[in-house]
């Protein structure tokens, strides 16, 4: 989903060292864009080894139950497991919890899940052995991506079912993507001369307890949402010029007296986009524009501020330990807690859904204004309306998508359901929020593609006046793929071409945070 331009010095030769250094969005984008390989830092290796050694020593003389290490799981926490069955216990956990159904998770998100799981295990509080983490790194570096399913996680106790599918290939079970095909994991292990990992005490829980399903979706969605937020400003600027709108509502003075960061940033962007436009500078017959134009800084800006909040939440999460129990070597403590609970992510994902849905909502209103025969634009943006329906139905399509987004934006986090015989009696439903957000954000791309289709058509009726140099260059690139509509034709092809234009449009990643 990421198609931003980035300044690269070299491709394929870079290695990202997993460490305690904060993993942020730009770093993740660079890892993916440059197709960097992963390696564990010396710091990470030492922490992982020390934690495993501590746990092994602890278990030698441990008779008391320690949850998930020598006990059953969930409501079976009181069932003590003998030492000679600890490996079988962990393997049974992985196999029994791999109950995912529904659509397959996109491969780029599965790869993010691997990255984020490795990051979480590197802090040395999870008790995993080096062989396990090294194998996850091998999977990542060789594009061996476990087949994971979208449904099955309650977003508490970790993303149990999705992460079980992520872990299955470690023990030679399940399926993986490799070279654009799906294979039994056992086949791929054999191809690389790898033996299945023999999971040791605690490792199954370390792999399954965690929020990497929700987190991977969140990271992917943030990067895509930042791009669409930028495009909403740009396409909205094209619509404003096409509608013969006014520039005064974007004056910095207006926004300095209500200085929300996103509002200030949006107004500044739109001023920059329209700088030098003949259309925006011409004398106006009207004194005010509809809210969908005039209030872009306030509406688009609120979405930007939401994205900043969501980003803060996810950056904290992906640089955290989210399995259970947590092992504290220096303090000689093994503590069962609840860091796997996805409530912070569920709330953030629901907030992201609402904020991004609003970008689509206001975009559709601008589409409606453009096709309404106002301000000397032809009705439905076509010559001979009546004989031609023109852009009548693209607005219907956008309206339909907006309505669907309102349904998707309903918060998943307000729901909960009891599981594991009442032991796990409150869950976040963050995984449902994640998959809903994925569909919703994809819908925003479609709505903005329709707005751009309309705005490009509308601005053609303003010739010979021109917009800014920046917007004219943008529209020239667009019109090479999506041509002016003189007479009715199969517009779904144009909408798809418009979506493709947005999909592959290169934007410097620094612009997205500008």
Task: Give the catalytic positions in this structure.
Answer: 67
- Is residue 482 a contact partner of residue 450, using CB atoms and an 8 Å limit? no
Burial of 475 per CB tally in 10 Å (0-12, 13-18, 19+): buried
* Dihedral sign from CA coordinates of 197, 151, 1, 480: positive
Angle, helices 296-318/261-274, rounded to nearest 10 degrees: 120
450: closest CA among 415, 492, 412? 492
Q: How far is CA 47 from CA 44, 52, 136, 174, 489, in A?
A: 5, 9, 17, 30, 63
* Other beta carbons within 10 Å of 231: 22
What three-state secondary structure class fits 66?
coil
* Dihedral sign from CA coordinates of 59, 64, 68, 70: positive
- Is residue 165 a contact partner of residue 149, using CB atoms and an 8 Å limit? yes
DSSP per residue, 345-384:
HHHHHHHHHHHHHHHHHHHHHHHHHHTTT-TTPPGGGSSS
The residue count for the chain: 514
64: region left, alpha or beta (phi > 0 left; psi from -120 to 50 alpha): beta
Torsion angle of alpha carbons 330, 335, 340, 344, nearest 10°?
A: -80
3-state helix, strand and coil shares in percent for the chain, rounded to the nearest 5: 55, 10, 35
- Is residue 30 a contact partner of residue 295, using CB atoms and an 8 Å limit? no
What three-state secondary structure class fits 68?
coil
CA–CA distance, 487 with 484 (Å, rounded to integer): 9
Angle, helices 296-318/212-242, rounded to nearest 10 degrees: 160
Residues 6+ apart with CB under 8 A from 489: none
Residue 438 φ/ψ, nearest 5 degrees: -60, -45
Q: How far is CA 214 from CA 74, 96, 160, 403, 511, in A?
A: 21, 21, 11, 25, 26
- How far does Cα 468 stand from its chain's mean position? 32
CA–CA distance, 392 with 372 (Å, rounded to integer): 9
What three-state secondary structure class fits 432?
helix
Residues 6+ apart with CB under 8 A from 501: 449, 452, 477, 478, 481, 482
């Amino acid at each position: 989903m990421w198609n931003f331009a980035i300044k690269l010095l070299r491709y394929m030769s870079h290695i990202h060292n997993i460490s305690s250094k904060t993993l942020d969005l730009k770093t993740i984008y660079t890892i993916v864009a440059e197709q960097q390989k992963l390696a564990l830092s010396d710091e990470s290796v030492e922490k992982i080894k020390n934690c495993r050694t501590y746990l092994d020593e602890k278990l030698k003389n441990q008779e008391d139950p320690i949850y998930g290490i020598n006990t059953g799981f969930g409501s079976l926490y009181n069932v003590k497991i003998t030492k000679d069955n600890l490996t079988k216990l962990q393997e049974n956990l992985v196999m029994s919890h791999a109950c995912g159904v529904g659509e397959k998770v996109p491969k780029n998100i599965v790869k993010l899940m691997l990255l984020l799981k490795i990051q979480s295990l590197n802090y040395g509080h999870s008790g995993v052995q080096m062989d396990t983490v090294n194998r996850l790194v091998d999977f990542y570096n060789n594009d061996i991506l476990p087949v994971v399913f979208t449904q099955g996680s309650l977003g508490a106790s970790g993303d149990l079912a999705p992460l079980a599918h992520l872990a299955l290939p470690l023990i030679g079970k399940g399926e993986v993507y490799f070279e654009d095909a799906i294979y039994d994991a056992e086949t791929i292990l054999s191809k690389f001369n790898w033996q299945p990992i023999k999971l040791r005490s605690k490792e199954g829980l370390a792999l399954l307890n965690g929020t990497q399903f929700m987190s991977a979706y969140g990271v992917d969605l943030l990067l895509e949402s930042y791009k669409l937020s930028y495009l909403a400003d740009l396409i909205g600027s094209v619509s404003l010029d096409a509608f013969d709108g006014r520039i005064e509502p974007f004056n910095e003075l207006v926004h300095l007296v209500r200085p929300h960061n996103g509002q200030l940033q949006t107004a500044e962007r739109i001023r920059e986009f329209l700088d030098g436009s003949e259309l925006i500078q011409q004398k106006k017959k009207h004194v005010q524009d509809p809210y969908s134009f005039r209030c872009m800084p306030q509406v688009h800006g609120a979405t930007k501020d939401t994205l900043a909040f969501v980003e803060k939440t996810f950056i904290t999460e992906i640089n955290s330990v989210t399995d259970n129990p947590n092992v504290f070597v220096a303090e000689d403590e093994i503590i069962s807690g609840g860091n796997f609970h996805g409530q912070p992510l569920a709330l953030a994902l629901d907030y992201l859904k609402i904020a991004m849905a609003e970008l689509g909502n206001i975009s559709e209103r601008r589409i409606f204004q453009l096709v309404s025969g106002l301000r000397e634009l032809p009705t439905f943006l076509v010559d001979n309306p009546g004989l031609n329906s023109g852009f009548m139905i693209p607005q219907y399509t956008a309206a339909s998508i907006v309505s669907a987004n309102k349904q998707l934006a309903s918060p998943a986090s307000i729901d909960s359901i009891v599981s594991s015989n009442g032991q796990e009696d409150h869950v976040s439903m963050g995984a449902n929020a994640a998959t809903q957000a994925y569909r919703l954000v994809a819908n925003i791309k479609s709505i903005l593609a329709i707005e751009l289709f309309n705005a490009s058509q509308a601005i053609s009726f303003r010739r010979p006046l021109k917009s800014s140099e920046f917007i004219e260059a943008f529209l020239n690139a667009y019109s090479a793929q999506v041509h002016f509509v003189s007479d009715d034709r199969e517009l779904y092809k144009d909408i798809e071409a418009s979506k493709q234009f947005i999909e592959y449009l290169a934007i410097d990643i620094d612009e997205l945070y500008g």
